[in-house]
Structures are given as C-alpha cells and as structure tokens.
Amino acid sequence: MGSDPGAVATGADPQRQQQVERDSGALSSQPEAGRPLWGAANTALLRWLPARYQDGEGEPRGRGPGGVQDGLLLPPPRRVSREVVRSSLKPRDHQYSQLLVEWGQYIDHDLTLTPQSVAGDDCLHTCENQAPRCPIQTEDLRCMPFHRSSPDCSLGSGSSLRQAVGRQQLNAAASYMDASLVYGHTPQLQSSLRDLAGLEGKLAVNRRFQDPDGRPYLPFVARLPSRCRADPRGGERVDCFSAGDSRVNEGLPLIALHTLWLREHNRIAEALKHINDHWSPETIYQETRKIVGALHQIITMRDYVPKIVGRASFELHLGAYGGYDPAVDASASNVFATAAFRFGHASISSALSRLNHSFQEHPLFPSLSLHHTFFSPWRIVKEGGIEPTLRGVIGTPAAAANANMLLVEEVTERLAVLDADQHMDLASLNLQRGRDHGLPGYNDWREFCGLRRVQTLDDLTEVVRDRRVAEKILNLYQHPDNIDVWLGGLVEHFLPGSRTGPLFACLIGKQMKALRDGDRFWWEAEGVFTGQQREELLKGSVSRLICDNSHITEVPLDPFRFREYPAGFVGCCRIPSINLEAWREKKSPDLQRCGSPRRIKQGDYILSSGSGKLTARYSCYHGFKLEGAEEIVCRGGRWSPEPPRCTEASDD
C-alpha cells in the first residue's frame, strides 16, 4: 500500500489505480514529460538495433524472387525447420519440471502480444505473396498461411521517419510485468472480467460450470458459440474461456495457470474484505490486483529467470535491484518478443502428462499427444478439472533441448491455429516472423551483446558444440551473417546452470532488467508496499498458489525443479503462506466521524489522505462518464459536496 498498516484506508496506490489509463496508452508509467507511451499497450516494440529489411524500409529479407539477400540465397523457413529444427525424439531434463516451460509461455503473454494484419484477401486459400500476406512455402510447393504483423500506424506510409527507421511492429499488451494477462490490458476488457455486481472486488467466474469441489472456472468469452474445439463425444458444449489475454485456450497448462490466478484473486479479495470491512469494492479489487501483480514479479524474477539464464548471467545482466530508474524504457524489445523469449519452444514436450493423486498416469484421463490439447477447454471441465494437468506439469520432467533435438513434430507438423484449417509449423512461423519484423541476423546480435562474431565453420562448431548441426546451418545459409537470430540463439550450447546459450541469456537478461528497473510500480520500489508487506510477499510461490486454489495437497517446495514423488514432495501445511494481516488498516478518526462515502451506480471510489484531508475519489466503470465532483472531502463530520453520478457515455 505504501503507507503504514495503522494509517487511514487509502485503498490501492493512487498511481496504480491509473493502471487502466496506462494500459490503454493514455497515461505513462513514467512521470517525466516526453515519455507518455513507454511500455503502454498498442505502441511499437522497442528496437535495440536498427531494422534490417530487404529494401531498407519494410520488405522481409528473402521474400523477393529467389529469396536473395546480399547476394546470397536465404533458405525458406520450412526447409530450415525440416532439416535443422524438427526432432522426432526428445530426451528428458530431469533437473526441471515441465512447469518451467509452461511458466515461460504464461509470463510471455503478460509482456507481449503482436497483432497480425488482417486486411486483404483470404490468406488461407492462396499462396500469392502480396501484402499483408507472406505465405510460407512448403516442400510440396504448397504453402502455409502467414499474415504479417500489424505495423505501427503512427509512422505514416512513405514518411521520412518511416524510411529512416523502417517498418515497426506493435505490442498490443502493456510491456510491464503486472499480471495484465489476468486482468486485461484495455479498460473494456478489464471491466468485462470483473464481478461488478458482487460489490466484493472479485473477478467474474463461470456461471455454468465449476469443479467437483465447487471451485470456479474462468468465464466464457462473450461471443458464443466460440471457435474452441468441442468434445467429440457430445454432451453439453464447453466454449472458449475468457481471461486477460486472448491466448488462454491455447493449451491445458495455460488454462490451468489462468484458473489458479483467477481463484487466487478472489481468495485474496475475500480475505481483504474481511480484514478491512470499510474498504470499497474498488479498493479491494485494486489492492488485490497489486498483490497478484507483485507475486507474478517475484515468482518470475526469483524462481524462473535465474534458472533460464543461469546464476552468473543473472548477476551479470541484472544484478541486485537498485530502485526505479526513470531513464530506463521498460518497453518490450522486438528481438525479445520475436526471437529470444521463444527459446522455450525447444523445450515443448510431444505429450501432456495427466497424473492422479499419487502422481501416476491417471486411469480415467490419460496423457495426451500435444495436438489433442490445443484449444480444448472441454478437457478441463469434463476430464477432472485442472488437477490432472497441474500434477502433470509439476510431476513430469521437462523436455531437454540441444542443438540436434530442437522442436518436436507435434509443433512442427501438427500445430493447431484457430484461424487456419491446416496444421502449422511453429519453427517456420518463428523464422518467418523474425524476417517479417526485420530482425538483424545472428551475428549482429552477438556483437550487440559483446560476443565474438561467428565467421567460420569452426567458429560455429565451437558455439554449437555439434559440428554436424553447424555444417547443416552453414550449408543452408551460405554465410554466418545470414543466420536467423532465433535459430542461432537456439542452437548455442547452454551456459552452466542455464537453459540458454550466451546470446539469449544476454537478451533475456537485458529485457528483464529493463522491465524491473523501468517500472516505478515494481514491488520492491520505494513506497509501493510497506516493509512488512514486502516480507510477506516473499513467502508467495507457485506451490502455495496450487495449495490454496486446487485440491492438490502435496507439492515440491520449488515446483520448477523436478522431484520424484513422494520423496521430493511436502504437504501443503509446510508451504509458507502470506499473512494478509500486513494489509490491515484502521479506520481514521475522520472516517469514523464521516462514515463511508455513499456508493454510486456504475462506479466506485477509493479513499485518500495524501493531501492531509480525507477524500473520496470517484471513477466510473468502462462505458460510463462522471457527472459532478470527482472528489468529495470529509469536513465537519460529513462528506461534501454531494457524490457524483455515472451516466452512460455517448459514442460521440
């Protein structure tokens, strides 16, 4: 809260209350003038190096006749996928659980969302290479559909700035690690996900289904019927779930994690309402969101990132937190979103394990080939809830990645995409997306990170530690400078204690430092939480999240590390819990004299005493506008002036 526990109830930090405006690009996370859009949704991904397009402005490398770039032939993405990336076998990484892979996808969705252009003819039924289409040619001379990423339209076509910087791509999500994938990154979505009628600061839940213990599921999307797969056996239809991020239904582990955080929000909100019965629903919602956002930051930076980049790289590229730095732009970079943080695709398993209470193969709901889990929320509702899937991701070792065993055929030959009526290839999509975004080549990024450029086969062999793979890559690309950065970073030999090579460790580390240091609402920043609250937040973990929001009763202390059941598991009673008493706030004398302010329809208030006077600041829900005084003040034992009202906003 940023105030002493015994102080007046102020609700969420007044700055954090403006999250809606920040997400929509109307307000900066930065107080300094001239930086109003740093990290805001629907702004351009940050360029750490100048774009590299075939025509210098926007044409993807290798797109023209013959795919020639700098006099050399760029290999088609599908050929690279089939000859270098695709793997039919994947060994197991017995150090880490599958949760390490799933959390990477989950937290990526909190940071980046690159929308695609949809103008023009139907890309699904033509191979014609015409904007915004950039189809991926396959080995049988057919093609996979591919739409280019939406450009940043603030740079006008043909403008001098456009010609200078090249085509820029949008990040539709707010870059900050703030749990926007739980709450939404637009005012309209945020409002639709809330249980505004309940007056308890909670999120909305599914009205048709709940698990056998009465725990809630995510609500359905507004437009029904949805495009998600239906149970082939028939019965009551289960539609796509709705969450703060539209990709929630891509896989069962993603649905399970979103469900846990929905339940966690409502659990914390209920506890805060009991502790502070004078808090308004808006105060409860905002303060709960603030706690949930902090837990996302803690789990990611403390438990996840060091395992990915290695402890040495973490200290090198991030180091200890030194407080908010207003000179740091926390916007997601293009190379991070489009290449580096897609490293986890090489750790995707070909099957999803579903386990029973003894962490053995579930007799009723067995493990599934991955392609049977895409966009199938019905399997959560009708096949045991989230527990079989959660046990699978914490009780199964992750798939190991190495240079000659990268992406499994489940995602290179049988990937499902809702907008496509054919199987897609994740590796080809990644390579094509990097060229679409004008990412410079592998060597340019190595130089950017202070690493030695690769010039010869021996150089590449030294980096990859597999000469056969190095030979394949150079035979395809003809010159090291042409190697796509996603592929080059993916095949690098892992650093000690990491799951990435030196290039991706640098790029991920640099991005994580910017996300941390450039966010003045970071959980450790001065004034965001009290010292006592920070101590309690550090008790948060994925293990506690699972214990509090499912009927799983035994978990590893660190569920990202693989442990054999039962030796490596402990009872939930041994997992530390956050004591929310640290958020207790006494009623101030003014609040006791004036009482709680009057509630208004289609809006709410938060209390503040920052000006020395107890004030109630009102705001309206999305779609409504405020009429009357925005703030009322407690004077002489009464509130003055009269509270405002919220009226339906016109379309004008």
Binding site as annotated, residues: 345
Q: What distance lies between CA 302 and its chain's CA centroid? A: 17
Angle of helix 387-395 relative to helix 99-111, nearest 10 degrees, comes to: 110
| Residue in 109, 147, 362, 437 annotated catalytic | 109
Query: CA 217, 219, 225: angle at the middle one, nearest 5?
Result: 120
Which tokens hold the place of 282? 């808006």
Asked whether the CA dihedral 33, 38, 42, 44 is positive or negative, the reply is: positive
Closest CA to 545 of 230, 42, 182, 186: 182
Closest CA to 162 of 59, 239, 89: 59
Residue 361 Cα distances to 28, 354, 381, 556, 644, angstroms = 49, 6, 19, 18, 59
Which tokens hold the place of 418? 């809702």
The H or E element spanning position 242 is none
In the three-class reduction of DSSP (H, G, I as helix; E, B as strand; rest coil), residue 545 is classed as helix
Q: Provide the residue type at 51 as one letter.
A: A
Residue 557 Cα distances to 100, 182, 295, 547, angstroms = 14, 24, 16, 11
**Binding site for heme b: residue ranges?**
345
Residue 157 Cα distances to 7, 162, 169, 579, angstroms = 54, 7, 14, 55
In the three-class reduction of DSSP (H, G, I as helix; E, B as strand; rest coil), residue 203 is classed as strand
Active site residue 109: yes
Please give the Cα distance from 304 to 11 (Å, whole number): 30
Q: How far apart are the first and last CA of the chain?
A: 37
Residue 248 Cα distances to 4, 163, 171, 370, angstroms = 37, 37, 17, 16
What single DSSP character describes residue 347?
A: G
**Is 405 in contact with 84 (CB distance < 8 Å)?**
no
Residue 606's φ and ψ, nearest 5 degrees, are: -130, 150
Strands 570-571, 351-352: pairing kind = unpaired
**Is 602 in contact with 646 (CB distance < 8 Å)?**
yes
Pick left, alpha or beta for residue 241 (phi over 0 → left; psi -120 to 50 → alpha; otherwise beta): beta
Which tokens hold the place of 358? 């003894």
Burial class from Cβ neighbours inside 10 Å (0-12, 13-18, 19+) for residue 526 reads exposed
Active site residues: 109
